[in-house]
Amino acid sequence: GAVVSQHPSRVICKSGTSVKIECRSLDFQATTMFWYRQFPKKSLMLMATSNEGSKATYEQGVEKDKFLINHASLTLSTLTVTSAHPEDSSFYICSAPMTAPSSYNEQFFGPGTRLTVL
Amino acid sequence: KQEVTQIPAALSVPEGENLVLNCSFTDSAIYNLQWFRQDPGKGLTSLLLIQSSQREQTSGRLNASLDKSSGRSTLYIAASQPGDSATYLCAVRPGTSGSRLTFGEGTQLTVNP
């Protein structure tokens, strides 16, 4: 299957700092990518839809100014957690649907980024 | 609003047993359904994708079925192995435009040697 990478895989930061997480589709182009947050023993919670060349679409209750999303190219989306606080500690996962050559829109997920804010 | 439910939430079986994981969804107007596997602390691995027009898909020891009219899908795992231990998630994509998925809460499977 297609490959989606995330970097870094793990980050520990001090409260008040900003952290950038990258999501890349390695062997296909993705005009849309999705960012999820996952709490321990819970399912994925969609945070926002990242759109190449336009603004991201945020889910209800997700702070746009807190979680900045930039979809700079067809293979790269970034999530920046600004002024991170301990409650932002979580597992962040991105995904990208592959629209070509298949039209099935099968979604492929990155390996996730574990963020710990001290 | 689409809701996806997975039953059971947890399942523990002895090695070699055949098992079935269940997924139900409230809105039958779906584009496709995907089954994923998630190991602890890892991302999701796509196992099978079933288009709305399909009834089932098979990959190795895995078989997924889809009954769109009744809003149900099952994931059948044959001859389970300890390496199958993981959380299994199903997700549906709506029939309307967009690729966003709605996930179930997952079934945590433990296969005991």
Average pLDDT of the residues of chain A: 91
Best B4, B25, B44 residue to mutate vs chain A (most A CBs within 10 Å) = B44
Q: Is A60 on the interface with B (CB under 8 A)?
A: no
**Residue A106 and residue B49: Cβ atoms within 8 Å?**
yes
> What mean pLDDT comes out for the span B82-102?
88
Which pLDDT tens digit goes with each residue over A36-84? 999 888 889 999 999 988 899 999 999 999 999 999 899 999 999 999 9
Distance from A111 to chain B by nearest Cα, in Å? 4
Q: What is d(CA A33, CA B93) in angstroms, rounded to the nearest whole number?
A: 14
**Residue A43 and residue B104: Cβ atoms within 8 Å?**
yes
**Residue A111 and residue B105: Cβ atoms within 8 Å?**
no
Q: Is B99 on the interface with A (CB under 8 A)?
A: yes
Q: What is d(CA A97, CA B92) in angstroms, rounded to the nearest whole number?
A: 13
Per-residue pLDDT at A101: 59
- Chain B residues in contact with A114 by the CB 8 A cut-off are 41
Does position B110 have pLDDT exceeding 80, yes or no? yes
Which residue among B31, B46, B51 places its CB closest to the CB of A1?
B46
Residue B97: pLDDT band with limits 50, 70, 90: low
Does position A2 have pLDDT exceeding 80, yes or no? no
A90 → chain B, closest CA residue:
B41
Which residue among B43, B99, B100 places its CB closest to the CB of A110?
B43
Give whole-number Cα distances, B94 to B1, B27, B62, B91, in Å.
10, 8, 24, 10
Per-residue pLDDT at B109: 97
Q: Is A54 on the interface with B (CB under 8 A)?
A: no
Q: What is d(CA A50, CA A48) in angstroms, rounded to the nearest whole number?
A: 6
Cα Rg of chain B (Å, integer): 13
Q: Is B61 on the interface with A (CB under 8 A)?
A: no
Which pLDDT tens digit goes with each residue over B64-79? 999 999 999 999 999 9
Q: Which of A1, A52, A5, A49 is nearest to A26 (CA)?
A: A5
Residue B23: pLDDT band with limits 50, 70, 90: very high
